[in-house]
């Protein structure tokens, strides 16, 4: 789990610097879109795992976890909305979306860290 978290942090730092996961400058909309889709899918899997854990929880811990998952859903939905905007843009006019998408991805990462802290 810590290894996955470290990889996620490193990739997000690369995104913030305008680089892809390997540290190269992201040259195209298609590549960037695939990277964001990949991160979205990873967080979908993480959220699904939390939902599975929720089924095993009971009482007050269940209510807290459900609230955390709901917060993650909000963050994830915002990222998906922005990803849809990216998909609808042409190959030349998408760069203005990148800062917001990077911020939404970063926000989802932090929301997931907060949601899983103490579990």
In a domain, 65, yes or no: yes
In a domain, 66, yes or no: yes
Domain residues for the domain of 50 are 27-116
Positive or negative, the CA dihedral 97, 102, 105, 111 is negative
In a domain, 22, yes or no: no
In a domain, 96, yes or no: yes
Longest dimension (CA), the chain: 52
In a domain, 43, yes or no: yes
| Cα 47 from Cα 76, distance rounded (Å) | 9
Among residues 49, 62, 67, 70, the alpha carbon closest in space to that of 4 is found at 49
Q: What is the pLDDT along the chain (119 residues), one digit of tens a residue?
A: 555 544 554 455 455 545 544 455 655 999 999 999 999 999 999 999 999 999 988 888 889 999 999 999 999 999 999 999 999 998 888 999 999 999 999 999 999 999 999 87
In a domain, 14, yes or no: no
Per DSSP, the three-state class of 19 is: strand
In a domain, 9, yes or no: no
The angle formed by the CA atoms of residues 71, 7 and 9, to the nearest 5 degrees, is 55
Q: How many domains does the chain fold into?
A: 1
Secondary-structure breakdown of the chain: helix, strand, coil percentages, each rounded to the nearest 5:
80, 0, 20
In a domain, 104, yes or no: yes
């Amino acid at each position: 789990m810590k290894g996955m978290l470290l990889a996620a942090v490193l990739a997000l730092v690369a995104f913030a610097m305008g680089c892809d996961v390997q540290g190269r400058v992201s040259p195209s909309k298609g590549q960037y879109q695939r990277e964001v889709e990949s991160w979205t899918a990873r967080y979908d899997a993480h959220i699904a795992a939390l939902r599975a854990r929720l089924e095993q929880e009971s009482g007050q811990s269940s209510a807290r976890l459900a609230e955390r998952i709901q917060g993650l859903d909000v963050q994830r939905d915002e990222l998906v909305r922005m990803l849809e905007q990216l998909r609808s843009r042409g190959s030349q006019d998408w760069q203005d979306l990148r800062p917001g998408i990077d911020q939404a991805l970063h926000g989802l990462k932090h929301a997931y860290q907060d949601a899983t802290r103490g579990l």
